[in-house]
Amino acid sequence: MANPKPPYYAEITYDIDNETERALAPIDPEGEPRTWGADAKLGVVGKPLPRVDGLLRTTGRAKYTADIQLPGMLYGEIVMSPFPRARGVRVDAASARKVPGVIDVMTPESTGNDNKFGGGGASLFTDSPNFVGEYLAAVLAESSEAAREGRRAIMASLEADEILPHVVDVEDAAKSDAPRLGRESNEREGRPSDRGDAERGFGEADVTVDLEMRTAVETHACLETHGSVAAWEGESLTVHDSTQSVYGVRDGVAESLGVPQENVRVIKNFMGGGFGSKLGLDRYTVIAALFAKKHGKPVKIFLDRRQEFLNTGHRPSSIQRLRAGAKKDGTLTALELVSRGPAGSQCSRQITSLYACPNVRVRHTDVSVNMGPPRPQRAPGDPQGSAGLEPLLDKLAGALGMDPLDLRRKNFAETNPSNGQPYSTNPLLECYERGAQAIGWHRRRATPGSDPGPVKRGLGMGAQIWNSGGAPNWRAECVVRPDGSVHVRIGTQDIGTGTRTILCQVAAEELGVPLERVSITLGDTNAPYGGGSGGSVTAPSSLPAVHAAAFDAREKLVALAAPLLGAKPEDVELRGGRVVPKGSSEGGLALGEIVTRANVESVVGAGTRTFHPDYRGTSVVSFGAQFAEVEVDTETGFVRVLKVVAAHDCGRAVNPMLAASQIEGGVIQGVCFALYSERIADRALGDFVNTNFHDYRLALVPDIPEIVPILVGPPDPIVNSVGAKGLGEPPVIPTAGAIVNAVHNATGAWCTDLPLTPDRVLRALGRV
């Protein structure tokens, strides 16, 4: 049973040029807030204020989905396949039912017509698993202990009609004697992609270099595992879900259960990490809803840590062969990427769009293996692609006798190289200059490996591009209450990035009230539509929606206040949280007074994210550059990252402290990807051996370098009325490439097999 192509791929590859006119609701100049340009005088927006929910989070009072306990709640556990590939797996439900406290067992047979997941004909369970971790059954019990005991009983009694040969390694899968997983072959060539004529470009080159880069399977490693709590009241279902998309889960649950969307409410309050693995509907949510309906009680299902490693997606591995050609002066004439990897491992965005190069050739082959579907992970494809591209450029710079920074300056793209469009803003050169200065680029040894050692230091850099204009149709409401407080309502969720805070800042700014007077409801499908938090779209899509809603409330307050002040609406204005006669600093009415005196319950402003007339035809992207300093112990192979300077553009940083925090988190995950993280498959067993936080290595506190975030660039005049672009994903992209380059600068060796564990480094150094 094939897994359906997850709907969220469409969401993150969202393309403005394919949007309908309706979606791109044209700006109504009367109904729109004024765009906050570079010279706007703002009081709350742009300030590095602490998170509005910071105290709740640090004192443990913030309720994460995993914390939800409802009266009478039952507990579910998923039984996942221990077989990488089998047919006719039999679940012995009776073995679990014998366990005291176990109430029910769900299997493919027992669910019958209910065994339906999403709208694509997929099932909740299989009896023919194709990877370790596929759903076989679910157990329901009165306690989580009993549910786990029931799961253990089933796991111990599993039998299969046939255990089939498996393959979990991409290179094994290509061998002639490999078990065939696909129809004709385990390999499927992707659509070729060419710009210009790469062969001609290489022909025109004075210098050509090539490089092979390998990257490993990384997992999202969310601290809060995946899970749901489902509760019915009559025909209405409420789901608390640890999700990056409450609306996405609502639609998926409704479709799976065959109930109207309006009968389903999905809530996500606080979240312990998603990183792309929680963008879509998951099976446990549907199972919890089915159990809850059948037994008339709320049901909670959370995956355990090992299950989290097995069946919530991963960043697929890659094998990349890269080639670059340039003229003597460094002008790129051709770039080429030929890559292979498990399904979804395409990683060509950086090579096709970051640098000016007329000829680019991309070929990719997906290879079928028994390891379950990958999922988007923070900048899907890009840390991998960047880890190949940036070292390729440094190798080229070496061959040309050029400084790597000069080579990148030389190939700066004035316009979007894929389509010739102008950029809304492009401060990449400033990212280069400020980053280079902050790291002390002049200290870089021109001759790689010339540090006498044995512990050698080196500097390296990388750059990055990301589409960051956000998505259409996001809506919000701004409610002004009789006490003068303001309440923002928007469906989108705060996945830990600080969305709550920046949205409150925008409402406070537009209505002229202190931030403490603004509260917010988000992560709830009872609030106006806000889409999934993926693709770095949340800030650029939600900020203008809230801005527009606050503006609408402002217009309504002015209209209500004018007659109360005995004036015409055009003669009064809202300033400093009061509606006053134009030009006057005295008198007037506070917002609460207006609501009270107008004798209304509240004043509700509504807003939608709209698009600037020049948006279509403009490339709205964010650039960044990172500079890493590393220390390589050439005797032990240990690499330590000492410092990363990360200069990134996000247009207006509504809250520079939170923007810097996004950069820090991205760099830390980039360090994990470069040096530590690798989910290891046992080729013989087809299982994964390090499915816990002891054996799966993340960067620990002593491994985290000094990180210097630098926010570069003016507010973007095109992206939205706030001038803010997305920043969630960009900072994870260039870190690994910069580290590989720094290791080369330190040692003179190309370590191109990530993560750079000591054994791999020693091998690259020729020491083992």
Cα separation values, 313 from 6, 354, 376, Å? 11, 27, 8
C-beta of 16 vs 326, nearer to ligand MOS: 16
| Interface with ligand MOS, residue 46, by CB under 6 A | no
For residue 61, the minimal CB distance to ligand MOS (Å) is 26
Residue from 316, 373, 385, 535 touching ligand MOS (CB under 6 A): that is 535
C-beta of 274 vs 417, nearer to ligand MOS: 274
Tell me how many residues contact ligand MOS (CB under 6 A): 11
Catalytic residue among 11, 255, 509, 729: 729
Count of residues making up the chain: 768
Cβ neighbour number for residue 565 with a 10 Å cutoff? 18
* Beta strands 236-241 and 264-267, pairing class: parallel
Q: With b meaning 16 or more CB within 10 Å and e meaning fewer, what string describes 81-94?
A: bbbbbbeebebbbe
For residue 383, the minimal CB distance to ligand MOS (Å) is 11
| Interface with ligand MOS, residue 373, by CB under 6 A | no
Tokens of 472: 């259409």
For residue 276, the minimal CB distance to ligand MOS (Å) is 2
| Interface with ligand MOS, residue 201, by CB under 6 A | no
- Kindly write out the interface string for residues 238-277 of this chain, putting x where it contacts ligand MOS by CB under 6 A and - elsewhere: ------x------------------------------xx-
Specify which residues 623 forms β-bridges with. Answer: 465
Using N-to-C axis directions, what is the helix angle for 382-400 and 735-747, rounded to 10°?
30
C-beta of 372 vs 534, nearer to ligand MOS: 534
- Kindly write out the interface string for residues 670-709 of this chain, putting x where it contacts ligand MOS by CB under 6 A and - elsewhere: ----------------------------------------
For residue 303, the minimal CB distance to ligand MOS (Å) is 18
- Amino acid letter for position 354: L
Tokens of 265: 């409410």
| Interface with ligand MOS, residue 279, by CB under 6 A | yes
Measured distance CA(216)–CA(688) in Å, rounded: 13
Residue from 404, 435, 498, 534 touching ligand MOS (CB under 6 A): that is 534
| Residue 741 contacts residue 390 (beta carbons within 8 Å) | yes
Cα separation values, 622 from 51, 503, 542, 715, 729, Å? 24, 20, 17, 11, 10
* Contacts of range 141-145, beta carbons closer than 8 Å, 24 or more positions apart: 141/74, 141/75, 141/76, 141/77, 141/99, 141/101, 141/102, 141/103, 142/74, 142/75, 142/101, 142/103, 143/75, 143/101, 144/75, 144/77, 144/300, 145/101
Tokens of 307: 């299950």
729 is a catalytic site residue:
yes
C-beta of 252 vs 376, nearer to ligand MOS: 376
For residue 531, the minimal CB distance to ligand MOS (Å) is 11
For residue 250, the minimal CB distance to ligand MOS (Å) is 18
- Amino acid letter for position 678: E
Residue from 372, 376, 448, 737 touching ligand MOS (CB under 6 A): that is 376
| Interface with ligand MOS, residue 380, by CB under 6 A | yes
Contacting range for ligand MOS; rule: CB under 6 A; set: 300-308, 371-379, 510-518, 736-744: 371-379
For residue 376, the minimal CB distance to ligand MOS (Å) is 4
* Beta strands 236-241 and 227-233, pairing class: antiparallel
Please name the residues in contact with 696: beta carbons below 8 A apart, sequence gap of 6 or more: 219, 221, 309, 677, 678, 679, 690
Residue of closest CB approach to ligand MOS: 276
* DSSP label of 192: P
C-beta of 128 vs 497, nearer to ligand MOS: 497
C-beta of 330 vs 532, nearer to ligand MOS: 532
C-beta of 534 vs 544, nearer to ligand MOS: 534
| Interface with ligand MOS, residue 622, by CB under 6 A | no
For residue 410, the minimal CB distance to ligand MOS (Å) is 32
C-beta of 383 vs 748, nearer to ligand MOS: 383
- Kindly write out the interface string for residues 2-31 of this chain, putting x where it contacts ligand MOS by CB under 6 A and - elsewhere: ----------x-------------------
Tokens of 228: 């749901």
| Residue 530 contacts residue 545 (beta carbons within 8 Å) | yes
Cα separation values, 624 from 616, 663, 664, 724, Å? 23, 10, 13, 15
| Residue 84 contacts residue 163 (beta carbons within 8 Å) | no
C-beta of 344 vs 748, nearer to ligand MOS: 344
Contacting range for ligand MOS; rule: CB under 6 A; set: 171-179, 376-384, 475-483, 585-593: 376-384
Contacting range for ligand MOS; rule: CB under 6 A; set: 68-76, 370-378, 517-525, 575-583: 370-378
For residue 273, the minimal CB distance to ligand MOS (Å) is 10
| Residue 475 contacts residue 609 (beta carbons within 8 Å) | yes
- Residue 725: how many CA atoms within 13 Å on its side-chain side? 33
- Kindly write out the interface string for residues 632-671 of this chain, putting x where it contacts ligand MOS by CB under 6 A and - elsewhere: ----------------------------------------
Residue from 377, 467, 468, 662 touching ligand MOS (CB under 6 A): that is 377
Measured distance CA(577)–CA(750) in Å, rounded: 60
For residue 729, the minimal CB distance to ligand MOS (Å) is 6
Specify which residues 135 forms β-bridges with. Answer: 80
| Residue 113 contacts residue 165 (beta carbons within 8 Å) | no
Phi, psi of 708 (to 5 degrees): -115, 95
Residue from 116, 250, 378, 554 touching ligand MOS (CB under 6 A): that is 378
* DSSP label of 673: I
| Interface with ligand MOS, residue 530, by CB under 6 A | no
In terms of Cα–Cα distance, which of 701, 704, 676, 700 is closest to 690?
676
Contacting range for ligand MOS; rule: CB under 6 A; set: 224-232, 316-324, 377-385, 746-754: 377-385
For residue 220, the minimal CB distance to ligand MOS (Å) is 9
Residues in the site for ligand MOS, rule: CB under 6 A? 12, 244, 275-276, 279, 376-378, 380, 534-535
Show which residues are catalytic.
729
